[in-house]
């Protein structure tokens, strides 16, 4: 079993607010102070800050370098480290999140059990927004990632204090999103021998018990009875019979069978590429090919912590994609759970096979909306880089809303088309459709169009190809290579854009 803090009831980071005039006394308990200033700082702002003249002198040395971060120490008992910088009031959510990450990175050589965030010189509204985004970066940086060395990995930050705001701000959503993102990143970073299919299902069972979710594990025997031949084709190369589809159900205050929302995630716990074997460098980090499922679970956790009223199903396709005498092959023909036959072309296009049946099962309960997450195609990275993720939907009129949600949340996406003209490229002489094309041109679009064949047209569906699931050095507010991209985005989709079926 894992040592994940959220499973072991370890104390989290406490957020404390001080909506009062900033005084030297408020600085005294701080190990580090993150000082966020506008690009042009009025003198009255410096005057209002304890040791403001000293901070101004240090900041002015960096004034010729816009966006530069300055370091200084306060003349107090704790010798508080000040990490300061400026940002425009008109900056985007992504820019604010990234700015917060860079502030934290500048102070990483020192542990900060107590960190202060002081946003000074902005309007009350702008200050509150910036404080929330820097808080998101602080909570991401404070979370200890898996470390199985003798020293292990322990959280050092215990308290975050918000200073200088005119009034208290609601941080519950930021904290819930952080918990969901931390869970997703932790699961994704676990070594493959510690997060195999069996252990993953056990962890999900533990989470379900903790949070009041209904848990059901569909074994390969169950899935054969359901006709899930696409998923089983991928699973048949495994050395054991641990592959499964797990369903988690959250029904707040009601027992309705119908879900308002279904979250679907690709959970390939290790991907060799199958018989079409990946080369070494491409296979090295393939324990992270289950990130889509981790994002789905992290989103469910965030919704639970926020006590949102939606009835939610979470469907997770959990298996390895291995090479061996029983592994599926190119030109095999299998039948999916909706009766459609698929001619396999490339065994490393396993994600769309596993998701196809999972989408069929999720659709049978007629949810109001389906959102699926998957590290699905390299073509997505080629199309949009690792800074954005690709998004698709069977409701093309939603494209502006999906794009706007990315801008609001700071987890940026770009919409791409799907449709019959792309499915035509999957025409097969021996089956209803091919798994993929041989040329793999525009494979992110082809893969999404393939998945659309397994979602009834009357159910709204959004597919996120997580090209931003990994980014060297961190992305937005997240400091680790694994980003956990998608949880803030989905919460914004629901709470800011009010998207539903």
Determine, yes or no, domain membership for 61: yes
Tracing tokens 């200033």 back to the chain, one arrives at: 37
Half-sphere exposure in the Cβ direction for 361 (13 Å, CA): 32
pLDDT at 302 (0 to 100): 98
Give the contacts of 371 (CB within 8 A, at least 6 positions apart): 261, 262, 263, 264, 461, 462, 463, 464, 490, 493
| Structural contact between residues 450 and 352, judged by C-beta atoms closer than 8 angstroms | yes
pLDDT at 1 (0 to 100): 41
* CATH code for the domain in which residue 21 is found: 3.40.220.10
pLDDT at 155 (0 to 100): 64
**What distance in Å separates the CA atoms of residue 446 and residue 381, rounded to the nearest whole number?**
14
> pTM of this prediction?
0.95
Half-sphere exposure in the Cβ direction for 340 (13 Å, CA): 24
109 with 186, same domain? no
Which two three-digit tokens encode residue 399?
Answer: 């494209």
3-state secondary structure of 147: coil
**What distance in Å separates the CA atoms of residue 48 and residue 50, rounded to the nearest whole number?**
7
Which residues are annotated as catalytic?
A: 278, 352
Q: Of the candidates 109, 137, 169, which is a domain's last residue?
A: 169
Kindly report, residue by residue over 206-237, the tens digit of the pLDDT.
999 999 999 999 999 999 999 999 999 999 99
Q: Of the candidates 169, 201, 234, which is a domain's last residue?
A: 169
112 with 212, same domain? no
Q: Which of 388, 395, 350 is nearest to 371 (CA)?
A: 395
94 with 191, same domain? no
Which two three-digit tokens encode residue 350?
Answer: 């396993």
Strand spans (E) along 284-434: 312-321, 333-335, 341-343, 370-374, 389-393, 413-415, 433-434
pLDDT at 8 (0 to 100): 62
Residues in the chain with pLDDT < 70?
Answer: 1-11, 62-67, 108-111, 150-155, 501
* CATH code for the domain in which residue 439 is found: 3.40.630.10
β-bridge mates for residue 37, sequence order: 86
């Amino acid at each position: 079993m894992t040592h994940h803090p959220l499973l072991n009831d370890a104390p989290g980071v406490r957020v404390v607010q001080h909506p009062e005039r900033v005084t030297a006394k408020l600085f005294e308990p701080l190990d580090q102070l993150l000082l966020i200033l506008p690009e042009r700082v009025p003198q009255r702002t410096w005057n209002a800050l304890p040791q403001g003249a000293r901070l101004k002198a240090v900041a002015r040395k960096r004034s010729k370098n816009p966006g530069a971060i300055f370091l200084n120490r306060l003349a107090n008992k704790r010798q508080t480290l000040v990490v300061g910088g400026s940002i425009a009031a008109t900056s985007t959510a992504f820019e604010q999140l990234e700015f917060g990450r860079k502030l934290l990175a500048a102070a990483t050589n020192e542990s900060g059990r107590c960190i202060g965030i002081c946003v000074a010189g902005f309007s009350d509204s702008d200050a509150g927004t910036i404080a929330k985004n820097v808080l998101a970066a602080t909570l991401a940086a404070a979370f200890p990632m898996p470390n199985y060395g003798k020293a292990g990995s322990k959280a050092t930050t215990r308290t975050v204090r918000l200073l200088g705001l005119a009034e208290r701000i609601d941080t519950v959503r930021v904290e819930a999103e952080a918990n969901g993102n931390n869970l997703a990143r932790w699961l994704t970073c676990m070594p493959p021998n510690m997060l195999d299919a069996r252990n993953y299902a056990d962890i999900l069972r533990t989470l379900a018990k903790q949070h009041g979710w209904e848990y059901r594990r569909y074994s390969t025997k169950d899935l054969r009875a359901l006709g899930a031949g696409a998923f089983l084709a991928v699973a048949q190369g495994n050395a054991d019979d641990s592959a499964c589809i797990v369903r988690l159900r959250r029904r707040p205050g009601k027992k309705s069978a119908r879900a308002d929302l279904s979250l679907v995630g690709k959970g390939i716990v290790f991907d060799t590429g199958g018989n079409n074997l990946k080369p070494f460098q491409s296979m090295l980090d393939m324990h992270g090919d289950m990130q889509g499922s981790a994002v789905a679970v992290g989103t469910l956790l965030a919704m639970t912590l926020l006590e949102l009223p939606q009835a939610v199903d979470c469907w997770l396709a959990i298996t390895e994609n291995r090479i061996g005498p029983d592994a599926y092959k190119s030109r095999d023909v299998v039948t999916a759970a909706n009766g459609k036959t698929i001619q396999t072309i490339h065994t490393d296009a396993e994600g769309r096979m596993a998701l196809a049946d999972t989408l069929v099962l999720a659709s049978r309960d007629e949810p109001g909306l389906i959102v699926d997450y998957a590290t699905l195609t390299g073509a997505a990275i080629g199309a949009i880089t690792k800074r954005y993720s690709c998004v698709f939907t069977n409701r093309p009129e939603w494209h502006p809303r999906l794009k706007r949600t990315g801008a609001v949340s700071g987890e940026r996406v770009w919409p791409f088309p799907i449709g019959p003209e792309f499915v035509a490229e999957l025409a097969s002489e021996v089956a209803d459709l091919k798994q993929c094309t041989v040329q793999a041109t525009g494979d992110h679009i082809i893969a999404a169009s393939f998945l659309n064949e397994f979602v009834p047209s009357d159910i709204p569906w959004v597919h996120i190809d997580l090209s931003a699931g990994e980014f060297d050095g961190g992305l937005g507010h997240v400091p680790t290579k694994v980003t956990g991209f998608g949880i803030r985005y989905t919460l914004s989709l629901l709470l800011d854009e009010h998207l539903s079926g």
